[in-house]
Amino acid sequence: MNNPNDEFYTSEAFQLFFIKSANSLIIKADPPHFTILAVGNKYLDLVHKQRNELLGKSLFEVFPGSGADSSEKFSVFSSFNRVINHKAEDKLPVFKYEIFVPSSGKLETQYWSNLNEPILDKAGNVQFIINTTNNITAQVLETAEKERAQNLLKASEQNIQNMVRQAPFGMCILKGEPAFAEEINDCFLTLVGKTRDQFKAKPYWEVLAEAAAIYEPVTNEVFKTGKTYHAKEHEIVLVRNGREEIVHIDFVYEPMKDADGHVFAIMIVAIDVTNQVLARNELQSAYEQVRLSKQAAALGTFDMDLVNGTMEWDERCRELFGISHNKNVSYEKDFLPGLHEEDRERISKIISELLNKATSIGDYDVEYRTIGTEDKKLRWVRAKGKVFFNEKDEPVRFIGSVLEITSQKEDEQRKNDFIGMVSHELKTPLTSLSAYVQMLHGKARKSGDSFTASALDKAERQVKKMGTMINGFLNISRLESGKIHLEKQLFNLQDLLTEAIKETLISNPDRSIHFVLCNPTFVQADRDKIHSVISNLLSNATKYSPPEKEIEVFCEVIDNCVQVGVKDQGIGIKASDAERLFERYYRVKTKNTQHISGFGIGLYLSAEIIERHQGKIWVESKPEKGSTFFFNLPMN
């Protein structure tokens, strides 16, 4: 080396000095080669190379950049030229290199920073460049991790904000001391009855001053301990839209923590459950009222699980079946055997039909007798209930209540016995009276006394009406005492209809009855009692329709049943009255019916007679348009 500076920088004294320097190498300012003249020991440790691999070689030969990336080499080259031309230090950006590390036996990505310092000769020209390199991989990775964490935090905060805004329940995020609502959604504003502007202007607990006394200490505790706070159906008075309201709220105070576990915010999740609480309270009150009513009325209840085949009876229901124990009960072992033998088949059939969705809507209303299992006592019971079906029309549950009606039944029996006795006693003098009237009527006609004959004719009609009424009472008495029996025979229903129509016309010669003849139809029934039903329907049609309006009678066969209809063009019946028309002693009370005689027993008796024939009776009517009464009888 001819240049005295070369001798200096390659001298042993300088190398000893340089060896002590940190992470550096000396590069000769000889572009474009930039020859490496000296290397520090720490630099060799950094790059995992031997000194003889570096000395006397071009920097770009030893360090060709990161793989084939020429842009990095160009950046270093430009930096060296700037140092030469401007005689100033130049700090290069961070570079990434793939370096073979013997300890791991593989290439590793490392990050270095570089500082280039010029060494001048006597003329002030740059002769050498001291390049100091530091491995900042750990710092770069740490910085990158922090940036990633910050980005994740920002993304998380953004997700939380979106979640708060879109949540279908009240949400609010509190931060700071004093706490401010950093995020708050519309549901929360609606719940507390405040506006968004109110929360922007003041700290959170100033806006919700009415709740601060209870909940501000809770908030402070969550900030302090980092523990979640739950409350369910908490009752509080809130000033909502300027008015105090008692509300019930489910809420959670959830602490939000940073990476170090410090609470930096609290998320409040709140749901207004006031309506649910009030509804439950009302339901509980209703249950209590039902319980008290049930207790006062001595009602028993039953509940049958038709899927699992189990049955529940309360204490009163067990009492009505003469059972004192609290053991399990069942339909087959307790209910059916507990029925009176005369009612067992009937009730069993009703329940069987009740469980068939094709023939039933599930309504249950029956009367029957029980014989106590333990006390053998006879009791009369009225049971009402409902069967519930699933989507496949399968019965799944049967619930209801039972009420003892023994006293009522005994009263009715005594009354029926009395009515039967009185009616029977009246028949004898009435029969005699009828005979005397008929005899006098005959003499008056023979003597030509038209006035007396007319008066006796009217008297005879009234006697007949009285006889019909007495027979009705007797029939009711016999029916409810179980003493009425059906004497079935095979007869032509068309002939019976013709006969009943002729009899009606004899009593009502001014009426017009049109009979739509049907084919001869034979039924197995009690002829006299079916005659009584037809006569009653015709009698009602003449009573409740104008004399000039025609009455129509028709019959037809439908689904193996013969159906009879009696249609009038009279005053008609309201739907509310039609529902009760076949009840005993029930009469429609209107201005049109107040002068029409009757006790309301004809349709009741007719319904009982048809029911005992396994038939059905009903009415279709519109007020002021007329009514059509129907009944049907099975043909087999």
Burial class (CB in 10 A: 0-12, 13-18, 19+), 67: exposed
Distance of alpha carbon 604 from alpha carbon 583, whole angstroms: 6
pLDDT at position 26: 82
The residue ranking higher by pLDDT, 343 or 80, is: 343
- What's the CATH number where 577 sits? 3.30.565.10
Domain assignment present for residue 156? The answer is no
H/E stretch holding 570 reads none
pLDDT surpasses 50 at 65: yes
Residue 302 lies in a domain: yes
Tell me which DSSP letter residue 586 carries.
Answer: -
276 or 89, greater pLDDT: 276
Indicate whether 67 belongs to any domain. Answer: yes
The mean of the pLDDT values for the chain is 80
Question: What's the mean pLDDT in 332-357?
Answer: 92
Question: Does residue 148 form part of some domain?
Answer: no
| Tokens 């003499």 belong to residue | 443
* Same domain (yes/no): 606, 504: yes
Mean pLDDT to the nearest integer, 525-553: 90
- d(CA 214, CA 234) in angstroms, rounded, equals 11
- Same domain? For 427 and 313 the reply is no
Q: Is the model more confident about 523 or about 486?
A: 523
Residue 93 in this model has a pLDDT that exceeds 70:
no
- Given a cut of 90, is residue 321 above it in pLDDT? yes
334 and 445 fall within a common domain:
no
Closest CA to 193 of 265, 279, 270: 270
Task: Judge if 494 and 630 occupy the same domain.
Answer: yes
CA 320: distance to chain centroid? 36
Q: Residue length, the chain?
A: 636
Same domain (yes/no): 389, 522: no
Task: State the pLDDT confidence band at 69, using cuts at 50, 70 and 90.
Answer: very low
**pLDDT tier for residue 528 given thresholds of 50, 70 and 90:** confident
Domain harbouring 31, CATH code: 3.30.450.20
Domain boundary among 376, 399, 422: 399
**pLDDT the model gives residue 617:** 92
Domain boundary among 350, 380, 399: 399
| pLDDT, greater one: 164 or 384 | 384
| Burial tier of 289 (Cβ tally within 10 Å: 0-12, 13-18, 19+) | exposed
Burial of 155 (0-12, 13-18, 19+ CB in 10 A): exposed
Same-domain check for residues 493 and 630: yes
Q: What is the pLDDT of residue 398?
A: 93
Q: Is the pLDDT of residue 521 over 50?
A: yes
Residue 165 CB-half CA count within 13 A? 9
- Please indicate, yes or no, if residue 313 is contained in any of the structural domains: yes
What is the b/e burial string over 472-495, where b = at least 16 CB atoms within 10 angstroms of the residue's CB?
bbbbbbebbeeebeeeeeebebbe
The 10 Å Cβ neighbour count of residue 138 is 10
**Of 128-132, 156-160, 167-171, which gets the smallest average pLDDT?**
156-160
Q: Are residues 498 and 517 in the same domain?
A: yes
CB 9, CB 1: distance < 8 Å:
no
| Tally of domains within the chain | 5
Same domain, yes or no, for 495 and 586? Answer: yes
Over range 73-87, report the average pLDDT. Answer: 63
Q: Which percentage of the chain shows pLDDT scores above 70? A: 78
What lies within 8 Å, CB to CB, of 487 at 6+ separation is: 526, 528
pLDDT level of residue 348 (50, 70, 90 thresholds)? very high
- Domain region containing 258: 167-277
253 has pLDDT over 90: yes
With CA atoms as reference, report the closest residue to 96 among 80, 114, 81, 83: 114
Indicate whether 67 pLDDT > 60.
no
- Please state whether 54 falls in left (phi above 0), alpha (psi between -120 and 50) or beta: alpha
Most confident of 167-176, 594-603, 610-619: 610-619
Q: CB of 565 within 8 A of CB of 553?
A: yes
Please tell me whether residues 126 and 229 are part of one structural domain. no
What residue type is 40 in one-letter code? G
Nearest alpha-carbon partner for 453 in 442, 461, 464: 442
Same structural domain, 67 and 103: yes
Taking the C-alpha atoms of residue 323 and residue 335, their distance in angstroms, rounded to an integer, is 11
Last residue of a domain, one of 425, 449, 480: 480
- Closest of 89, 135, 142, 145 to residue 116, by C-alpha: 89
Over residues 185-202, the mean pLDDT reads 88
Does residue 415 share a domain with residue 379?
no
Burial of residue 105 (number of CB atoms within 10 Å: 0-12, 13-18, 19+): exposed
**Whole-structure pTM value:** 0.38
**145-159, 446-460, 564-578: least confidently modelled range:** 145-159
Q: What is the pLDDT of residue 443?
A: 83
- Kindly report the number of other CB atoms within 10 A of residue 383's CB atom: 20
C-alpha to C-alpha distance for 396 and 364, rounded to whole angstroms: 15
pLDDT at 534: 93
Q: Are strands 551-558 and 513-516 parallel, antiparallel or unpaired?
A: parallel
242: alpha, beta or left, given left = phi > 0 and alpha = psi -120 to 50? left
Amino acid 530: pLDDT: 92
Above pLDDT 90, what percent of the chain? 26
Give pLDDT, residue 456: 79
Q: Give pLDDT tens digits for 401-443.
A: 999 998 888 777 776 666 655 555 566 677 777 777 788 878 8
Same domain, 336 and 395: yes
What CATH number has the domain bearing residue 443? Answer: 1.10.287
Looking at per-residue pLDDT, the higher value among 130 and 327 belongs to 327
Look at residue 470 and tell me if it is in a domain.
yes
pLDDT digits (tens, 9 = 90+) for 461-479: 777 777 766 666 666 665 6
What is the pLDDT averaged over residues 268-294? 78
